[in-house]
Amino acid sequence: MKHVIVGAGPAGVVAAETLRKGDANAEIQIIGDEPEPPYSRMAIPYLLNGAIAEDGTYLRKTAGHYDDLKIGYSQGRVEAVAAGDNSLTLAGGDKVAYDRLLLATGARAVQLPVPGMDLAGVHNCWTLADAREIAKLAKKDSNVVLIGAGFIGCIILASLLKLAGNLSVVEMEERMVSRMMDGTAAGMLKRWCESKNVEVLTSSRVKAIEAASEGAGDKSVVLEDGRKLNAHLVVLAVGVAPNMDFLDGSGVATDDGILVDEHLATNVENIYAAGDVAQGPDFSTGGHMVHAIQPTAVEHGRIAALNMLGHNPLYKGSLIMNVLATAGLVSSSFGKWDGVKGGDSGAQTDEDNYKYLRLQFDGDRLIGALAIGMTEHVGVMRGLITNRTPLGAWKDRLLANPNRVMEAYVANSQL
């Protein structure tokens, strides 16, 4: 049996390891399209701020890990999949045959459709190669403009601030991290950033990036309202898109991502998909969603591999959840953080201390949560949501004081 895995991120690597655990003899080949060993994009902010070296981003730290498991690893870019004869074609023309194929090609950082994106010193912050360029340009006292205050923008904000000192953030939405934060949380986050001397421009669209005629920095970011922000370095964090263009003509069904069923299988026999490229079952909605988060990628990789091995376990869907620190302010969100129709919601807000916790209920079950400044027992919200724990009398206690959420869990599980 030959398993081919396209993509060397967490989904691909976990899948390869799971395949090996289940089949000592199968041929397992990972094809990645970056030159480095498999690494975590999530670790890039910590590479930028100097906390770790490049090898600190690697997914596996043991020397010879892949060799020891007899997992082949090669660099290549897949250009086409021919499902009819179970093979794929790499850039350069080489063909690779498979018995089972896992598409774990992840996502790429998207560009802005405005002039000036090709200027020197305009970079995404997505790959190790990007990080090296950013580290070169984000010198002390340089001006940096970060375009995009979403999840990735916020997570790299502290590193850019530490490296450069002068940082402006441009976000087209009316609030920061609009996909995981309500107005209260996002307002708190913006105020926090401003207290760290970060200029935050929300509801602001970029019209162009052009060479600067005056001011510090050799470029200026031109906003639609005419303002110009001078910069030595422009970092783009305006979103990601799944890598699935190579599937054109393959017959593999796609929507927002590659569509997979409760076995992580695509509509084409012997082809599976996992991780940021996969649009799989979502715990909260029962629909199919691209999560593009680490925990889902790992669950996908494992379940896809078990299915490729023929064990056919059913996947119940992952819970979407996020955690990030924005210039040191920790926030997390789980499931339906914005609630459901007819559900109740309780919140506690402490603006002075940058603390906020909102819980969302459907009946007496927790279905979503959003927290700012909470670092203790955060995971229990995941547990209460995915276990669909009936909270009974505890629901009213939590509506009155959401900060008792860990107590509610202990009371429901340990008493």
Partner 1 sequence: MLKSLQINPEKCTGCLQCELACSYENEGLFNPAKSRIKVFNFHDQGRMVPYTCTQCDDAWCMSACPVDAISVDAETGAKVVSDAACVGCKVCTIACPFGTVNYNAASGKVIKCDLCGGDPKCASACPTEAIAYVDANWTGLDKMRGWAEKTDSGAQAEA
The residues binding partner 1 (CB under 8 A) are 10, 14, 18, 21-22, 40, 42-43, 46, 51-52, 56-62, 283, 294-295, 298-299, 302-303, 305-306, 309, 311, 313-319, 321-325, 328, 330, 332, 334, 375-383, 386-388, 406-407, 409-411, 413-415
How many Å apart are CA 199 and CA 308, to the nearest integer?
49
Provide CB contacts within 8 A for 255, sequence distance 6+.
Answer: 279, 288
For the CB of residue 318, give the shortest distance to partner 1 in the complex, in Å: 5
Question: CA 280, CA 261: separation in Å to the nearest integer?
Answer: 6
| CA gap 294, 289 in Å, rounded | 14
Residue with smaller CB distance to partner 1, 87 or 412: 412
Cβ distance to partner 1 smaller for residue 102 or 122: 102
Which one, 54 or 79, has the nearer CB to partner 1?
54
Nearest approach, Cβ of residue 50 and partner 1 (Å): 12
Q: Which two tokens stand for residue 34?
A: 């970056």
* Residue 329 beta carbon to partner 1: minimum distance, rounded to whole angstroms: 10
Smaller CB separation from partner 1, 136 or 316: 316
Q: Minimum distance from CB of 414 to partner 1 (Å)?
A: 5
Least distance to partner 1, CB of residue 145, Å: 25
Place of tokens 């691909």: 12
Q: Are 337 and 294 in contact (CB under 8 A)?
A: no
Q: Which is nearer to partner 1, 231 or 319 (CB)?
A: 319
Minimum Å gap between C-beta 252 and partner 1 is 22
Shortest spacing between CB 210 and partner 1, in angstroms? 36
- Residue 39 or 246: the one with the smaller Cβ distance to partner 1 is 39
DSSP 302-320: HHHHHHHTT--PPP--BPP
What's phi and psi for 36, nearest 5 deg?
Answer: -80, 160
SS3 165: coil
Q: Considering the complex, what minimum distance in angstroms separates the CB of residue 53 from partner 1?
A: 11
Q: Of 272, 284, 279, 325, which is closest to residue 3 (Cα–Cα)?
A: 272
Distance CA 107, CA 353 (A): 36
Among 330, 326, 239, smallest CA distance to 45 is for 326
Cβ closer to partner 1: 122 or 152? 152
Measure the CA–CA gap between 37 and 48, rounded to whole angstroms.
18
Q: From CA 351, how far away is CA 294, in angstroms rounded?
A: 30
Task: Kindly tell me which of 14 and 235 has the beta carbon lying closer to partner 1.
Answer: 14
